[in-house]
Amino acid sequence: MADKAKVGREYAPVTWEVERGKIAEMAKAIGDPNPIYLDREAAIKQGYKDTPAPPTFLTVPMMWSSSMPAVINDLNINFMMVLHGEEEYEYYREIYPGDKLTGAPKVVSIEEKTNKSGRKMDMVTIEIVYTDEKGEKVARSRSLLVERK
Amino acid sequence: MAEEIYFEDIHVGDEMPVLVKGPVQKLQHVMYAGASGDFNPLHTDDDFAKAVGMKDGVISHGMLIMGFVGQAMTSWIPKKYVKRFGVRFAGMTRPGNTITITGKVTDKRLEAGENLISCELVASDENGDVKVTGHFDAALPSKG
């Protein structure tokens, strides 16, 4: 059961260097043939500085660094009972190869809800603001985790 | 490939070009696990998935389906114009499912000097079961 005392807690930041190959790998795994993710020249022709990261790329730093599993663990959420309820991104600029992104997961809220069949669930919202090496905001992610009880 | 698109070309009620993905294959789960770093065996190991109550075995990463929706979105509206993109995961996707993504423009407005459009998105399988609902906002260039 999610530990409500941890609302407001901010976890250690993760810094992640974005690689061109990882951007292409993500696009290929999704099966997105858009050349902007694979070919620098094609991306530049369409008004980008380089191959931009696909819209859901920000899942990569948190999962590969094991930061998100560590947060779930610290919140005492039962990993077997957790579902990903919602995910939202706000983009302030494109993410390109060579960017060094830093983001610290923050627990925004933990609320108990009861679903239609009377089952109780904890709704845990985690927000991460990503900045670049100059400290400028790049994007914000908001994840809703649902722990069934 | 997304072509140049202008605020004046988009109207409330316009439909996004439909994208059909799949059938989803287990191999794609393995590729997505490696790409994303999400190695939860629920998505790649049938024995594990069955042991935790998924009688038909592995289920897809929710974020893979969000990736499909993102592909549909940026095949229509260039990535560089998208300001906000969010989804709610409504149902589980399994290997063999074919996912169809549709979308519709719900609003257009001038806000803080930007030409914004809002769209809603739905991803459902071959039986019409909804997997993901979502929304995005984009700031488009103007002809004026």
The reply to whether A86 touches chain B by the CB within 8 Å rule is yes
Residue B66 lies in a domain: yes
Query: Both A124 and A81 in a single domain?
Result: yes
At residue A113, φ and ψ (nearest 5 deg) are -130, 160
pLDDT per position in chain B (144 positions), as tens? 445 899 999 999 999 999 999 999 999 999 999 999 999 999 999 999 999 889 999 999 999 999 999 999 999 999 999 999 999 999 999 999 999 999 999 999 999 999 999 999 999 999 999 999 999 999 999 997
Mean pLDDT of A18-47: 97
- Where helices occur in chain B by DSSP H, the ranges are 26-36, 46-51, 62-76
Query: Both A67 and A132 in a single domain?
Result: yes
Mean pLDDT of A137-144: 97
Judging contacts by C-beta atoms under 8 Å, the chain A residues touching residue B63 are 56, 59, 84, 87
Q: Do B83 and A90 touch (CB under 8 A)?
A: yes
The reply to whether B88 touches chain A by the CB within 8 Å rule is yes
Residue B117: per-residue pLDDT: 98
The CATH number assigned to the domain holding B85 equals: 3.10.129.10
Give the bridge partners for B85, in sequence order. A89, B136
Residue B131 lies in a domain: yes
Residue B1 lies in a domain: no
pLDDT at A62 over 90: no
A47 by Cβ neighbours in 10 Å (0-12 / 13-18 / 19+) ranks as: middle
Residue B36 lies in a domain: no
- CA B70 to chain CA centroid, Å, is 4
Domain that holds residue B121: 7-24+60-140
Residue B30 lies in a domain: no
Query: Both A118 and A66 in a single domain?
Result: yes
Q: What is the domain count for chain B?
A: 1
- Dihedral, B74, B31, B97, A68 alpha carbons, nearest 10: -80
- Residue from the list A25, A48, A54 with its beta carbon closest to the beta carbon of B70: A54
Helix axis angle, B62-76 relative to B26-36, nearest 10°? 80
Q: What is the domain count for chain A?
A: 2
- Residue from the list A22, A34, A85 with its beta carbon closest to the beta carbon of B74: A34
**Could you tell me the two tokens for A130?**
């990503």
Query: Both A85 and A28 in a single domain?
Result: no
Nearest of B126, B135, B95 to residue B20 by alpha carbon = B126
Residue in B with minimal Cα distance to A58: B36
pLDDT at A27 over 70: yes
Residue A78: per-residue pLDDT: 85
Residue in B with minimal Cα distance to A65: B37
Nearest of A145, A135, A142, A144 to residue A102 by alpha carbon = A135
- Mutate one of B1, B79, B121, B136 to test the A interface: name it (highest A CB count within 10 A): B79
- Dihedral, A18, A140, B7, A39 alpha carbons, nearest 10: 10
Mean pLDDT of A71-83: 87
* Residue A90 contacts residue A12 (beta carbons within 8 Å): no
Average pLDDT, rounded, for chain A: 94
Domain that holds residue A126: 4-18+57-148
Residue type, A36: I
- A39 or A2, higher pLDDT: A39
The CATH number assigned to the domain holding A61 equals: 3.10.129.10
- A72 or B94, higher pLDDT: B94
Residue B64 lies in a domain: yes
Query: Both A38 and A63 in a single domain?
Result: no
